[in-house]
Amino acid sequence: MSENNEVFEGQRIYLRRLLETDIDDRYLSWFDNEKLMEYYITTKHIFSKEKLVGELNQAEATQTYLYGVFTKDTDVCIGNIKIGPINLTHMFSDLVVLIGDTAYHSKGLASEAISVGNTIAFKKFSIRKLFGGMYESNIASIKAYTRADWVIEGKLKGHYLVNEKVEDRILVACFNKEFFKNDDEIKGIS
């Protein structure tokens, strides 16, 4: 099995590099779901198969790696994880999860996928720190990350403008214990 076909297992899910064949009509339908995309898209995007395949094919050129989230019991892709772009100078990276198949929401699978993503980032790519941010009203996402050993690192006041009202951005992070051995170095703010 080639390096690109590595499988990283959780308890109920596994992650493997996303392939062009994974971007099917079912996968594309997630991006048409306005409720699902409410917190993922901060500007208007048009998602077509060609656009998503193009982004997939160009990802590694920007030190970005896309993984599909698959259920172990049905072997179905239910979402994805993006690690990157990786900053090779400082060895930090964004990590974004999307559980696109809404039938799998509220089951703790996003937290499990994030935990597996942490392992990939820290062990495979030697990332020191992962970071992310989300709308303050996206409680499910905040909980998913903090349940996966991330901490709330800060808040950007009035960062988003939603329906002519400002909303804060919650900043979250996860620290590779190989680089941050002292727990006091990795405590967030509440």
Half-sphere exposure of 167 (CA within 13 A, CB side): 17
Kindly report, residue by residue over 101-148, the tens digit of the pLDDT. 999 999 999 999 999 999 999 999 999 999 999 999 999 999 999 999
Supply the CATH number for residue 81's domain: 3.40.630.30
| Helix, strand or coil, per DSSP, at residue 109 | helix
Cα distances (Å, whole numbers) of residue 161 to 66, 118, 145, 153: 28, 30, 23, 21
* pLDDT at res. 155: 97
Cβ(167)–Cβ(159) below 8 Å: yes
* pLDDT at res. 29: 86
Cβ(172)–Cβ(150) below 8 Å: yes
The number of distinct structural domains making up the chain is 1
* pLDDT at res. 2: 40
* pLDDT at res. 108: 96
Kindly report, residue by residue over 22-63, the tens digit of the pLDDT. 999 998 888 877 777 776 655 455 677 778 887 888 888 889
Half-sphere exposure of 170 (CA within 13 A, CB side): 20
Tally Cβ neighbours within 10 Å of residue 85: 14
* pLDDT at res. 187: 59
pLDDT higher than 70, residue 89? yes
- Domain range enclosing 13: 3-186
Whole-angstrom distance, CA of residue 49 vs CA of residue 40: 18
Beta bridge partners of 165: 162
Q: Which of 157, 121, 152, 158 lies closest to 139, judged by CA?
A: 152
Whole-angstrom distance, CA of residue 164 vs CA of residue 131: 27
Question: What residues contact residue 98 under an 8 Å CB cut-off, 6+ apart?
Answer: 30, 40, 79, 80, 81
Question: pTM of the entire structure?
Answer: 0.89
pLDDT level of residue 81 (50, 70, 90 thresholds): very high
